[in-house]
Amino acid sequence: MEAAPPGTGRIVRLLALILRIALGVVFVYAAWVKLRTPWELFALSINSYLILPMNWVEFVAHTLPWVELVVGLGLIVGLWLRVWATMASAMLAVFFSLMVRADVKGMEINCGCFGPGELISWKTLLRDGSLLAGALALTCMSFLQPRKKA
Residue 58 belongs to domain spanning: 13-143
User: Rounded to the nearest 5°, which phi and psi values hold at 113?
Assistant: -60, -50
**pTM for the predicted model, two decimal places:** 0.88
In a domain, 3, yes or no: no
Mark out the alpha helices in 2-150 (DSSP H runs).
8-36, 39-47, 54-77, 81-104, 122-144
Question: How does DSSP assign 13-35, residue by residue?
Answer: HHHHHHHHHHHHHHHHHHHHHHH
Residue 2 in any domain: the answer is: no
Residue 8 covered by a domain? no
pLDDT score at 136: 97
Q: What angle do CA 135, 67, 38 make, to 5 degrees?
A: 120
* 132 falls within a domain: yes
Chunked in runs of 10, what are the mean pLDDT values of the chain (150 residues)?
A: 62 92 97 92 93 95 96 96 97 97 94 85 95 97 73
Q: What's the pLDDT at 11?
A: 87
Length of the chain: 150
Residue 149 lies in a domain: no
Q: What CA–CA distance (Å, rounded) separates 141 from 13? A: 8
- Is residue 28 assigned to a domain? yes
Phi, psi of 110 (to 5 degrees): -75, 140
Q: Is residue 6 part of a domain?
A: no
pLDDT (0 to 100) of residue 118: 86
Residues 95, 111: Cα–Cα separation, whole Å: 9
In a domain, 97, yes or no: yes
Count of domains in the chain? 1
